[in-house]
Structure 1
């Protein structure tokens, strides 16, 4: 397909070269003119020396033209000088027999005099007009020139460059079904037009970051085999009012020249926020840009074949005018993939790497709940990096396990030296979490326990859900409360109340939020009933804002009492379980001290009263463990507090702070 903007750019380049050439010639001509007036003959002579030479008889002839004097010595040499207005000059020349030739002064034309006097001003005006033309039309090199403020920054991909299809988009089957008719319209618009159907002008894709909104938009262009214009919402807005609107006009002009095509605006909330909000009522440049975008979308005719696709994770802040019918009236939610979607996404990314025979994408998908498509792509890449570091010819399952542990639990810090007392306390703390999690009903199975420091945590207990959870029962929430306090209770039972550390600070914070949500948000308190007492202000898919309370002071006291009752009840319940399983607590702690990390199979054997045995990768880890440093452990109060605050369970086993979200 021919690209008209490229021809325009070539024409502009030729015009600019001609203009620069003409300016250069004119400047050289003027400078030469001025220079010719200031040039002498071969030797510039002082007037005093000239008079002395005349009186000494050395001067044979002079030519006088106005104040300019050119002369010839008796030996044939030439000179030039200026007459300062000496009235006795003619007498000196005649007395010394100097031949005098007189010529009238040079007379410049009136036009030349005007041109010379006005040339600097004319030059400034010409440069200013040229600059204004460049700002309005993208001069000085077209789109990439320094004056191309009003030109669109959109990048156009031809059908040959867009190689993404629906086969490359996995885990978003519902979203693909929603946009397939857009592809059909771009391929065969007559099918819809003969029935009077109008395809939506705009499609708004909403969803959390990393779920594949941009990839899906490219797949639509790839399937329809049409040009793809890609631009970010922030590329429209500049500090100069009116520039953004000019870029919107230019973008749609390019789209009409290449129709049928797709315009993709990423992060449209940067330019499409509700008007009239914020300090001072909003931003004039952003609002003018939004107004122009609305006008251009209204001006798209169904026969032109221009589809505008936008993506955002903040649909709550968009201007209502953008979402009305005739603009972005079709919204496609691209959410986090379920376990089957994650398996499909993993298979797509595994095509690019050599995978071992033991790799099972279904197992990896089950162990990565809540991962987005971008997270899974990062997981596959991390596994490939680990395999490369080991000089492996393929990426095996053990590499994926290590990559998953690194992402979920943090990087191992095996060189960090812990005292034996701190290591023992961490082992009992994590063993307490694991035993409670193993025995509580409806709790996610314990996947792995480690006392190797990862990130800021001294130890990690990781739970692996058997399937994606869309809601949480009261039993499951109370089981989560019990397991959160398992570490602190284990410290108290083994080392005494005086030796309890700050290691459970994060567990206490999460347990308190969980119990409060049960009472104030989810209606799981019999005493207060199914009423909403508090809620968090939601900010789209990016998280929550502040807490909004709807209760009186008396009700707040009741909420606090009920939260305390729930926590005390489950704390006592967890303590009773650990007291009844002290032998398993000691056995698991000893296994952690010996192997540092134990897996689900070892945990199961310990809970059955059997010898845990070695972990599967124990020998490999021993072969690659770096030598221990001899530096003393940091036992300062500040360091202990910071380490304790960071001690926490793996993210996959965590209950969200707000209401259960559909993953």
Structure 2
């Protein structure tokens, strides 16, 4: 096997060179034959008696004698050709008229050779046609003849074996899939008791949580072939192509059974049928129908397990989710603090770490991060250390990388005027001060007036633990914190000097208030009712119908309640900042001096202390104020004109 590996890259090149050499040679021969035939068409055949007459008249300039064939040139340059009988006096006649002549022996040409020369152009065209047809038919999914072939790629251990040791932070999902691995290793363990392994497992979770990695780990643990394909690879503009690829994919899988077929982003082909406006006989529905038949039809595909992944299970067709097809739905959520620590340890094993790096501390500071986010965090820290010329990645690089991932890169080239910098400082000080005086608010992790991304400043608050629900008192606290920046600008600079920097905060507050009123039943006037907005159905720019989910009176009530909730948060923020204006000046002054303050430093300033930023203080590990989080809840100041959407996100499941 090793002797053949070096030759593999050369074989296709040599084959192509040989093919092109034959094609070029054939074209040269064809051109020469055609040129010879075209040249022969300029020769005028004449009768032998006319030839004798022309010789006697002195009109013949030269003659070439080849057996009974005579070729020559007239005095006017016209070429001629004739055939002579046995004429012993021909040579004497030519000498008497002064004709230049030459004699050559007659060529012995076989009939088969003449036929081959005449048939050469046609044979060449047939050979080229056969070559291109074989090229179109070779390879799955290549060329016109392979248009309906499956594009699934089979991954084996040669491409890098992935096991459950490489998957961390999703222990519950891994345990649910261990049964599939056991079945692939020892099918008789289940079959002798009459049990049947689920034919399909649907991995559901947000992007970046490790669904694809988990599917590869199943194949790596079981040691079976692993076919991977994307849902979009089935959908083409021609009806029937996707269904043909599904059939071909299962045919390939049967030859390698037991095996796993992994379909990534299955929602591209598995959406609800009959939901479109163009009828039901379209390409996507044909493909879905064929997939349903292959998974649980009359012809059972034993030993083939389908694993699919999607982050949109709500749009899948119910026929896909019934028992017998995707029997098992495995939720792959964002990891908790224990899972994040394990994921960080997996990725940190590939990076040289400094002694001060504590994965637990980083995990506490990144709730809401997916596995892909954590991998990106470790990579950014390594790049920062390399940029600084360090040989080890320290805790300072991880903190800086976390700020870059969560808040964006520092805009060091952006020059702000003193007035803009002062307004930004008071804006962020307003967010921070309201947060400190709201008991339900999360502790402040960091406040900065350094422009990052599209924001001119930011206050990041981190919860003390992972949160899975959202309470009423915290919603109102977050509403007040979001309004704190706008209120601070109005108190310090006046009504006419309020800037557009609070556009992101207003958007966040509006979305939060509308969710409180329409989805979470947090309004006494509306009640615990789920309400959705009126929707218009539009097709090709034309409005087809309007679906009314709420009446006009209810819509007006919703708007009024949303406005009331926001104004209530505005009033709470104004009450806090008006009663503690001295602290607002003190905190804004510290931001103008230091530009970035940690949560601990803000508390020291509020207590009347001074900040120690000496070398000895900097050597201490960077602390996490009151816990950790990845999602800033409020206080993100947008650029002028409302460039940045409101910060703060509602936890999943709230």
For the pair 1:584 / 2:575, whether they are aligned, the reply is: no
Which residue matches 1:457? 455
Which residue matches 1:565? 564
Match of 2:442, SS state, is coil
Checking the alignment, whether the CA contact within 8 Å between 2:70 and 2:82 is kept in structure 1 is no
Q: After superposition, give the CA deviation of every residue in 1:272-326 in whole Å (9 maximum; x if it has no partner).
A: 3334442422674433333333333336977842212111222233333333322
- Distance in 2 (alpha carbons) for counterparts of 1:342 and 1:389: 26
Please report how far the alpha carbon of residue 432 of structure 1 lies from its aligned counterpart in structure 2 after TM superposition: 0.8
Which residue matches 1:607? 606
Please report how far the alpha carbon of residue 588 of structure 1 lies from its aligned counterpart in structure 2 after TM superposition: 0.7
Which residue matches 1:5? none
- Distance in 2 (alpha carbons) for counterparts of 1:647 and 1:197: 55
Match of 1:643, SS state, is coil
Please report how far the alpha carbon of residue 36 of structure 1 lies from its aligned counterpart in structure 2 after TM superposition: 6.6
Checking the alignment, whether the CA contact within 8 Å between 2:508 and 2:645 is kept in structure 1 is no
Please report how far the alpha carbon of residue 225 of structure 1 lies from its aligned counterpart in structure 2 after TM superposition: 1.1
Match of 1:359, SS state, is coil
Match of 1:392, SS state, is coil
Please report how far the alpha carbon of residue 484 of structure 1 lies from its aligned counterpart in structure 2 after TM superposition: 0.8
Please report how far the alpha carbon of residue 617 of structure 1 lies from its aligned counterpart in structure 2 after TM superposition: 10
RMSD of Structure 2 on Structure 1 (CA): 4.7
Q: After superposition, give the CA deviation of every residue in 1:196-217 in whole Å (9 maximum; x if it has no partner).
A: 2111222121211111110000
Which residue matches 1:210? 208
- Distance in 1 (alpha carbons) for counterparts of 2:504 and 2:224: 52
- Distance in 1 (alpha carbons) for counterparts of 2:641 and 2:22: 75
Q: Scaled by the length of structure 2, what TM-score is found?
A: 0.79
- Distance in 2 (alpha carbons) for counterparts of 1:600 and 1:225: 50
Q: Compared with structure 1, are the counterparts of its residues 293 and 616 closer, same or farther at alpha carbon in structure 2 (3 Å cutoff)?
A: farther
Which residue matches 2:631? none
Give the number of aligned pairs. 606
Please report how far the alpha carbon of residue 661 of structure 1 lies from its aligned counterpart in structure 2 after TM superposition: 2.0
- Distance in 2 (alpha carbons) for counterparts of 1:324 and 1:593: 61
Residues 337-352 of structure 1 mapped to structure 2, 5 A cutoff: 337-352=335-350
Task: List alignment gaps of at least 5 residues for structure 1.
Answer: 2-9, 74-78, 538-546, 621-639
- Distance in 2 (alpha carbons) for counterparts of 1:453 and 1:647: 12
**Which of these residues, 353, 368, 371, is aligned with residue 370 of structure 1?**
368
For the pair 1:257 / 2:255, whether they are aligned, the reply is: yes
Q: After superposition, give the CA deviation of every residue in 1:502-537 in whole Å (9 maximum; x if it has no partner).
A: 221221222122223222221112233222233699
Checking the alignment, whether the CA contact within 8 Å between 1:199 and 1:302 is kept in structure 2 is no
- Distance in 1 (alpha carbons) for counterparts of 2:410 and 2:14: 61
Please report how far the alpha carbon of residue 577 of structure 1 lies from its aligned counterpart in structure 2 after TM superposition: 1.4
- Distance in 2 (alpha carbons) for counterparts of 1:188 and 1:142: 32
- Distance in 1 (alpha carbons) for counterparts of 2:472 and 2:343: 33
Q: Compared with structure 1, are the counterparts of its residues 283 and 371 closer, same or farther at alpha carbon in structure 2 (3 Å cutoff)?
A: farther
Task: List alignment gaps of at least 5 residues for structure 2.
Answer: 2-9, 84-89, 536-545, 620-636
Q: Compared with structure 1, are the counterparts of its residues 339 and 644 closer, same or farther at alpha carbon in structure 2 (3 Å cutoff)?
A: farther
Please report how far the alpha carbon of residue 83 of structure 1 lies from its aligned counterpart in structure 2 after TM superposition: 4.1
- Distance in 1 (alpha carbons) for counterparts of 2:444 and 2:547: 35
Which residue matches 2:192? 194
Q: Scaled by the length of structure 1, what TM-score is found?
A: 0.78
Which residue matches 1:435? 433
Residues 151-300 of structure 1 mapped to structure 2, 5 A cutoff: 151-281=149-279, 284-298=282-296
- Distance in 1 (alpha carbons) for counterparts of 2:140 and 2:498: 70
Please report how far the alpha carbon of residue 126 of structure 1 lies from its aligned counterpart in structure 2 after TM superposition: 7.2
Please report how far the alpha carbon of residue 499 of structure 1 lies from its aligned counterpart in structure 2 after TM superposition: 1.9
**Which of these residues, 458, 463, 468, is aligned with residue 470 of structure 1?**
468
For the pair 1:55 / 2:58, whether they are aligned, the reply is: yes
- Distance in 2 (alpha carbons) for counterparts of 1:326 and 1:55: 101
For the pair 1:662 / 2:634, whether they are aligned, the reply is: no
Checking the alignment, whether the CA contact within 8 Å between 2:534 and 2:549 is kept in structure 1 is no
- Distance in 2 (alpha carbons) for counterparts of 1:616 and 1:49: 117
Which residue matches 2:505? 507
- Distance in 2 (alpha carbons) for counterparts of 1:393 and 1:23: 58
Which residue matches 1:593? 592
Q: Compared with structure 1, are the counterparts of its residues 201 and 30 closer, same or farther at alpha carbon in structure 2 (3 Å cutoff)?
A: same
- Distance in 2 (alpha carbons) for counterparts of 1:415 and 1:20: 56
Q: After superposition, give the CA deviation of every residue in 1:578-612 in whole Å (9 maximum; x if it has no partner).
A: 12222211111111010000001111112223224
